[in-house]
Amino acid sequence: MSVQAAVATDSPVVVAVDVGKTVVALSVTDAGRHRVLGPVDFEMTGPGLEGVLALIKSRLAGSDVPVKVGIEAAGHYHRPLLGPSVWPAGWQVLELNPAHVAEQRRVQGRRRIKTDALDLEAITELVLAGRGIAVADRDAVFGELGAWAAHRTRRVQARTATKNQLLGQLDRAFPGLTLVLPDVLGTKVGRLVAAEFTDPKRLAALGAGRFVRFAAIRGLQVRQPLAERLIDAARDALTTVDAAVARRVLAADLALLTELTAQIDTAEAELARLLPLSPFATLTTTPGWGVVRAGNYAGALGDPQRWPGPSQIYRASGLSPTQYESAGKRRDGTISREGSVALGRALIDLGMGLWLTDPPSRAYAAGLKARGKKGGVIACAMAHRATRIAYAMVRDGAVYDPVRWE
C-alpha cells in the first residue's frame, strides 16, 4: 500500500470507499481537497478493515476530527460496511447512489474511463457537496420484507417457466387433452389428470363413471359430461414416440411445481406477518393492494425515511421519461429504463391494482384513454398516481381515503 505523508487538519475529512467483491479501495481527503491517504486497497475482512482504520487514524491530526465516510452502493457487497459497529463512533456514514457516482465522473470529464481512483475522487466530491444518504440503524423488518419479496418473485418466475415446460411434456404424453381442458393447470380437474392420468390408455380404461368416483374420493366433484369428454379424448389420443419419457419428465416437473408453490405460499405468509410490523401496514386498505402488491413495494422501497418525496421514488424506479430541452426546443423521449427494476415493477403493479378496482383511479384512467393515450402511457400514469398515494399513506400512517384521492 502506498501512503502519503501525514497531513495535519482540523477540518472535516472524507473517507471515500469503493467496494468490490472481496477487495475495497479507500482514500482520505480533507475539506480543502488535499489527499491525506490513499488510494489504498484492503481485503473485505475484519483484520483488513482494522488495519486500514489504524492507518487512517495515524494520518489524522487528532481523534476529534470530524469524519464523513462515503460508500458507493454495490448491490449487496457494500452492506458489511454499513453496520453500526464497523466505523469508529462519531463518524458519519453516507450511502451513495452508483448512478450519481457515474454522473459525477462524467462531470469531471472521465465518462469513458472507470478506475478505482477516479471513482474515489467522484465519491469524495459528492460527499463534500452534501450528497449521500445517512446510514442509520435500520429496522430489521425492512431487510426481511426485501428478502421475502425477492424470494417470492424468483419462485414465481421459476414456477412460470416450470409450467411452460410441464405443458409441453403434457402435450407429448396426452395429446388432445387441451381440447377438453384449455387451461389444464388452472383447474382442479386438469391438475388431477396431469398428476394421475398422463397415460391416456389408463384413463380410457377407467371409464367416465369410475373417473367421477375416483375424483370424489379425493374431494373433487366432476360432472358426468366433463368426465365423458375426458374419456373420449383419452380414447382418441394419438400415441407419440416420446410419450414414455415425457411422462417421467412430467412427474419430475409436477414435484418441482408443488415445491415451488409451497415456497411461494411460505413467502406470502411471511409478508403477511411482516407488513403489520412495518410502516407499510396501511397499504393493504387500498382497493386492489393485497399482501403481495404491498409486500413487493415495501421490499423494493426499503426504509421509507430514506426518501424525501414521491418524485424521488418515481425517478428511482426508472419509469420517468427522458426529457431534452435546449434553445427553447423540447424533445421528450421514451422511458429512461435507468433505475430499480424491482421498484419499477412494484409501482406498475400497484398502478394496475388501482386501475382494476379503485373507482376514482378507474375514472382517471378512462379519462386518459379518452384523450387518446396508449396503454403503456396509462400504465405509467397509474404507477405515478400509485407512488403518490402509497408515499402519503406510509408517511401519515393513514388508511386509504377515496375522497382524498378522487
Domain contains 7: no
Q: Please count the structural domains in the chain.
A: 3
Last residue of a domain, one of 111, 137, 163: 137
Model-level pTM? 0.74
The alpha-helical segments, DSSP class H, found in 129-239 are 140-173, 177-180, 188-196, 200-206, 208-217, 224-236
Around 76, how many Cα atoms within 13 Å sit in the side-chain half-sphere? 3
Around 225, how many Cα atoms within 13 Å sit in the side-chain half-sphere? 0
**Is residue 167 domain-shared with residue 213, that is, in the same domain?**
yes
How far apart, in whole angstroms, are the C-alpha atoms of residue 88 and residue 149? Answer: 33
How far apart, in whole angstroms, are the C-alpha atoms of residue 48 and residue 43? Answer: 5
Query: Which domain CATH number covers 115?
Result: 3.30.420.40
For the chain, which ranges sit under pLDDT 70?
1-11, 61-63, 84, 109-114, 136-139, 321-338
pLDDT the model gives residue 6 = 44
pLDDT the model gives residue 322 = 57
**Is residue 198 domain-shared with residue 251, that is, in the same domain?**
yes
**Is residue 111 domain-shared with residue 217, that is, in the same domain?**
no
**Is residue 92 domain-shared with residue 161, that is, in the same domain?**
no
Predicted confidence (pLDDT) per residue in 27-78, tens digit: 888 888 888 887 888 888 888 888 888 888 888 866 677 888 888 887 777 8
Domain contains 1: no
Domain contains 403: no
Domain contains 192: yes
Domain contains 5: no
**Is residue 267 domain-shared with residue 302, that is, in the same domain?**
no
**Is residue 171 domain-shared with residue 269, that is, in the same domain?**
yes
Q: What are φ and ψ of residue 183, in 5° steps? A: -110, 80
pLDDT the model gives residue 165 = 85
Last residue of a domain, one of 120, 137, 154: 137
Last residue of a domain, one of 274, 306, 323: 274
Query: Which domain CATH number covers 184?
Result: 1.10.287
Q: Which amino acid is at 351?
A: G
Domain contains 406: no
Q: Which domain holds residue 219?
A: 142-274
**Is residue 93 domain-shared with residue 109, that is, in the same domain?**
yes
pLDDT the model gives residue 136 = 66
